[in-house]
Structure 1
Amino acid sequence: MQVGRMRYRIEIQDYKSTQDADGFETREWMTVHTVWADIAPVSGKEYMASNRETAEITNKIYIRFRSGIKSTMRIKHGDRIFEIESVLGDKRSGMLTIMAREVA
């Protein structure tokens, strides 16, 4: 992977709980990392669900190696949301490959 291909600014988000002023716990997506990435579509499919045509696209997202990225997190790029399916890290090459499904 060429570092020059990392032209997308993405946010890696985790689902965190916080307390509001009244002491109630709320859970929301919070950005934990903002990094440069390359997003490459790998496969896609269309199917019918609940009488609605649905598209599902699987992507490979490449970033510089960073520990602590888990499949419970998600990635946001502008209006696009990606659910992380797996994280493949190679510390020696300094790259992290994330397999993610785009949520429509």
Structure 2
Amino acid sequence: MQAGKLDRRITIQRVTTTRDEFNAPVEAWADLTTVWASYEPVKDGERYRAGERAAEISARFQIRYSSTVADVMPTDRLVFDRRTYAITHVKEIGRREGLELTAIGRGDGRF
């Protein structure tokens, strides 16, 4: 994996469960790590969902493999360029050289 192509910063987040003052479980996103990544847009498009038009952005990110990111899963998400992306697929590159994360973000910033 060439270091020169890893020119974008992404933050990987994982959902955590805490308790509120009434001891009820509360889910919140917490930063797992911030790493250098390469970014490649895959496609973008618009779909109609329940009468709402939403722009969708698919992207592929490649990051270096480390013990911190070894257990990244599709239940995690990432933040890039002030946009939140849902991770849809995680693939190992080579023999633990890196990870390829395929993700979907919404053009309107929600997720």
Coarse TM-score class (shorter-chain normalised): 0.7 to 0.9
Once the two structures are superposed, what CA deviation does each residue of 1:39-81 show, in whole Å capped at 9, x if it has no partner?
Answer: 1101222222233322212110110013101010000124201
Question: Do residues 54 (structure 1) and 57 (structure 2) align?
Answer: no
Q: Distance in 2 between matches of 1:92 and 1:40?
A: 22
Q: Please, what is the CA RMSD of the aligned residues?
A: 1.9
Work out the CA distance in 1 between the residues paired with 2:57 and 2:81: 17
More strand by share: 1
Distance 2:23 2:34 in 1: 29
Question: Shift in Å at residue 89 of structure 1?
Answer: 0.7
Counterpart CA distance in 1 for 2:46 and 2:25 is 38
Partner of 1:102: 105
Find the residue that maps to 1:71 and give its secondary structure. coil
SS at match of 1:23: coil
Larger deviation, residues 46-55 vs 69-78: 46-55
Question: What code does the residue aligned with 1:84 have?
Answer: I
Residue matched to 2:71: 68
Secondary structure in 2 aligned to 1:35?
strand
**Residue type of the partner of 1:70?**
M
Aligned to 1:84: 87
Change (3 A) 1:91 1:22: farther
| SS of aligned partner of 1:4 | helix
Give the unaligned 5+ runs of structure 2: none
Number of equivalences:
104
What SS class does the counterpart of residue 23 from structure 2 fall into?
coil
SS of residue paired to 1:67: coil
Kindly indicate whether the alpha-carbon contact (under 8 Å) linking 1:83 and 1:103 is maintained by their aligned counterparts in 2. Answer: no
Q: Which residue of 2 aligns with 1:35?
A: 35
SS at 2:4's partner residue?
A: helix
**What is the percent sequence identity of the aligned residues?**
29
